[in-house]
Amino acid sequence: MSEIRAFLLVMALMVLGAAPAVASTLEDIQASGQLRVGVKADVMPWGFRERPDGPIVGMEPDLAALLARRLGVKLVLVAVESSERIEALNQGRIDVLIATFSDTPERKAQVTMVYPSYYASGVNLLSRKEDGFKSWSQLLNRRVCGRRGSFYNRPLTLRYGMDVIAFHSLIWAKEAVRDGRCSALLYDDIAIIADLRDPNWSREFEMSMPSLFQTPWSIALPRTARGSALQSAVSEALIDWHREGVITSLEKTWLIPATAFAEHMHQAWSRRKTDGGWYCGSTWTASLPPDCVGPRSSSAIK
């Protein structure tokens, strides 16, 4: 019996030892002196490495740096793949996620979304000009490369009958398209537009389809952070970034085509009422005017 008790005690200690430490409060982060932010490392220009052993740079790492500075702590960037973003948050490997994370109802149930959203994009195809794709229905039974963990893979497969090959890495997906192993790349329209600035892509490829799923991008926290001081602090930072034009400025810094969403949010949050107060207020509430919110997620096929 004593051997069984000893075995059970060892197992219990192993389970406790394996449990991740989740920094779900602002106090935890400030006490540790560091903010662990999950970002992409292969999605230019939002989060990428200029060389394999180089630091992660881009628009979202810049936002992460601004947030860490605002909280008075050191920034630690953690590269995350699309398929592991939610797991990384809820297992405590990161404190905050700023990684091209589309805000959908399904994801909202799994993590804490922070508002206002900071960006938005639709879904489109990067395809060869010679294929002449003009309608999504032309993708029936065609092999299309994409990213594992992207919310739109399944609904587009079901609706249009395309064969989505989901890669862990965007770099691998792009290589497969360039090599002819896939007919097109299924990805965010604003990222495709950025890629097409490069003559190496624009000579042979195009984005000729109407975009689907116009969806905001949100900063996310662990599910346990709902209603926390950390959520409030990040929300206040987002409001200031929109108000001060930080997002539109970073678009210029990283040569990202100006988006209607970023400009709209800047105009809305910097607008004043006749009495001099902020039109959208200074905190996020459920009763904000619709133009302070921006587009919300839509699961409908357009």
Residue 295: per-residue pLDDT: 63
276 within domain boundaries? yes
Q: Which residues pair with 185 in a beta bridge?
A: 126, 145
Secondary structure element (H or E) that encloses residue 76, with its range: strand 74-79
| Residue ranges for the chain with pLDDT beneath 50 | 1, 7-23, 297-302
Residue 5: per-residue pLDDT: 53
The answer on 43 and 181 residing in a single domain is no
Residue 24: per-residue pLDDT: 59
Secondary structure element (H or E) that encloses residue 82, with its range: none
CB 5 within 8 A of CB 78: no
Owning domain of residue 112: 2-121+215-293
Q: What is the DSSP letter of 272?
A: B
Q: What is the residue whose two structure tokens read 């489109």? A: 124
- Total domains present in the chain: 2
Residue 213: per-residue pLDDT: 84
The answer on 170 and 144 residing in a single domain is yes
130 within domain boundaries? yes
Of 32, 289, 41, 268, which is closest to residue 171 (Cα–Cα)?
A: 41
Q: How far from 115 is each of 25, 27, 85, 86, 295, CA to CA, in Å?
A: 17, 21, 18, 17, 12
Residues constituting the chain: 302
Residue 275: per-residue pLDDT: 94
Q: Tell me, what CATH number does 202's domain have?
A: 3.40.190.10
Per-residue pLDDT tens digits for 156-198: 999 999 999 999 888 899 999 999 999 999 998 888 988 888 8
How many C-beta atoms lie closer than 10 Å to residue 181's C-beta?
A: 12
CB 24 within 8 A of CB 222: yes
The residue from 212, 234, 264 where one domain ends is: 212
Q: What is the DSSP letter of 129?
A: G
